[in-house]
């Protein structure tokens, strides 16, 4: 079979009642395209796998995990097995609408976007437990990462394959996929998409994920600014801490020379802590630099990505 134009990666977990309408809607929406559908079953405990086998067509792949790994890992597995020129991602709970995919794909092709992200224009979720926390999280992520998308929580997106397959997904970073794509220099835009209320099954998300999102945000900010130069972060903090501790110690030394008793003063303990902390930060920075160099050099990875090489009248896209 020729290389499909679009690979649609759908993550599913305990969605047995949604499988038939999900596949029917997806096949109908993509009927005019050369496509493949990749379903990643993330360790369901119900009849999800049986339902997929019952209703899947010849263009459908099913990847079954031996246990539940989480949405990010499921997305990574689906993307790894995708063969299309473009890769779309969507949830398997029927809240995303596959009928939006052809227009998103057309926009990506005609306007040469690397990522076309969905924005749930009329979101059908609860206000207190879903919408308000999501708006707060979106605002924080948008203004700290400087990647200006309005809806980071919408899984419905279309990517060029080379962008999707080089994002390095792991942990629980699926909410930060646009940030990971931006680190590769991806051009992205956002379009309004349909959103439906959940009819079958239960939501896998709650307020507890807020703390995970904030922790992952710290990691993403580190990746954005210091991944290739961690010594700039740890070394800077270390030098500042060491200099403050040294200044305090020098001040106490002067007091001691002048005959004052400095033993037991809280500021003396603070000075010692700052000096030791500074040494630890600097040491951590050096170790992190060694790890980063090992990461790139052992795998022959480059610290850059070339978009185009121009040779006379010939240009080659990389």
CATH code for the domain in which residue 100 is found = 3.90.550.10
Q: Is residue 38 part of a domain?
A: yes
* C-beta of residue 23 within 8 angstroms of C-beta of residue 60: yes
Q: How confident is the model at residue 303 (pLDDT cuts 50, 70, 90)?
A: low
Provide the pLDDT for residue 168. 79
Q: Is residue 314 part of a domain?
A: no
Are residue 193 and residue 285 in the same domain, yes or no? Answer: no
Q: Is residue 158 part of a domain?
A: yes
Q: Is residue 134 part of a domain?
A: yes
Are residue 17 and residue 128 in the same domain, yes or no? Answer: yes
Residues 6 or more apart whose CB falls under 8 angstroms from that of 24 comprise: 55
Are residue 61 and residue 41 in the same domain, yes or no? Answer: yes
What's the pLDDT tens digit per position in 206-216?
Answer: 555 666 777 77
Check pLDDT > 90 for residue 26. Answer: yes
Buried b (16+ CB within 10 A) or exposed e, 53-82: eeebeebbbebebeebbbbbbbbbbbbeeb
Check pLDDT > 90 for residue 218. Answer: no
What's the pLDDT tens digit per position in 51-76?
Answer: 999 999 999 999 999 888 888 889 98
Phi-psi region of 314 (alpha: psi -120 to 50; beta: other; left: phi over 0): beta
Are residue 80 and residue 29 in the same domain, yes or no? Answer: yes
The total number of structural domains that make up the chain: 2
Among the candidates 174, 191, 225, a domain finishes at 225
Are residue 144 and residue 250 in the same domain, yes or no? Answer: no
Are residue 36 and residue 108 in the same domain, yes or no? Answer: yes
**Tokens read off for 103:** 């227009």
Q: Is residue 318 part of a domain?
A: no
Are residue 248 and residue 278 in the same domain, yes or no? Answer: yes
Whole-angstrom Cα distance, residue 49 to residue 51? 5
Among the candidates 168, 200, 225, a domain finishes at 225
Are residue 80 and residue 173 in the same domain, yes or no? Answer: yes
Are residue 47 and residue 127 in the same domain, yes or no? Answer: yes
Check pLDDT > 70 for residue 307. Answer: no
Q: Is residue 305 part of a domain?
A: no
> Which residue segment(s) compose the domain that 122 sits in?
6-225
Are residue 175 and residue 247 in the same domain, yes or no? Answer: no
Are residue 98 and residue 82 in the same domain, yes or no? Answer: yes
Are residue 234 and residue 221 in the same domain, yes or no? Answer: no
What's the pLDDT tens digit per position in 169-183?
Answer: 777 777 788 888 888
Provide the pLDDT for residue 318. 47
pTM recorded for the entire structure: 0.74
In terms of Cα–Cα distance, which of 112, 92, 113, 123 is closest to 192? 123
Average pLDDT, the chain: 85
Mean pLDDT of 237-246: 94
Q: Is residue 309 part of a domain?
A: no
Q: Is residue 304 part of a domain?
A: no
């Amino acid at each position: 079979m020729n290389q499909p134009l679009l690979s649609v990666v759908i993550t599913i977990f305990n969605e047995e009642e949604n499988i038939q309408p999900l596949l029917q809607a997806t096949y109908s929406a993509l009927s005019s395209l050369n496509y493949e559908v990749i379903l990643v079953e993330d360790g369901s405990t119900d009849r999800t796998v049986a339902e997929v086998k019952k209703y899947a067509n010849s263009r459908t792949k099913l990847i079954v995990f031996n246990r539940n790994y989480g949405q990010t890992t499921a997305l990574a597995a689906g993307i790894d097995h995708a063969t299309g020129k473009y890769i779309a991602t969507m949830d398997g709970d029927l809240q995303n609408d596959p009928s939006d995919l052809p227009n998103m794909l057309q926009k990506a092709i005609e306007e040469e976007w690397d990522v076309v992200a969905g924005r749930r224009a009329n979101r059908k979720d609860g206000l207190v437990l879903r919408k308000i926390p999501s708006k707060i999280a979106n605002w924080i992520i948008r203004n700290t990462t400087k990647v200006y998308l309005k809806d980071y929580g919408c899984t419905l997106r279309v990517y060029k394959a080379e962008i999707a397959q080089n994002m390095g997904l792991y942990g629980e970073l699926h909410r930060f996929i646009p940030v990971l794509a931006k680190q590769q220099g991806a051009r992205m835009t956002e379009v309004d998409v349909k959103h439906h209320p959940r009819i079958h099954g239960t939501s896998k998300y709650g307020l507890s994920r807020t703390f995970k999102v904030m922790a992952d945000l710290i990691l993403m900010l580190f990746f954005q600014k210091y991944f290739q130069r961690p010594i700039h972060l740890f070394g800077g903090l270390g030098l500042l801490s060491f200099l403050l501790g040294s200044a305090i110690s020098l001040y106490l030394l002067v007091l001691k020379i002048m005959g004052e008793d400095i033993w037991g003063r809280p500021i003396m303990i603070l000075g010692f802590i700052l000096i030791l902390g500074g040494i630890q930060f600097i040491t951590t920075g050096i170790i992190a630099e060694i790890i980063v160099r090992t990461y790139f050099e052992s795998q022959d990875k480059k610290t850059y990505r070339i978009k185009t090489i121009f040779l006379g009248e010939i240009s080659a896209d990389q």
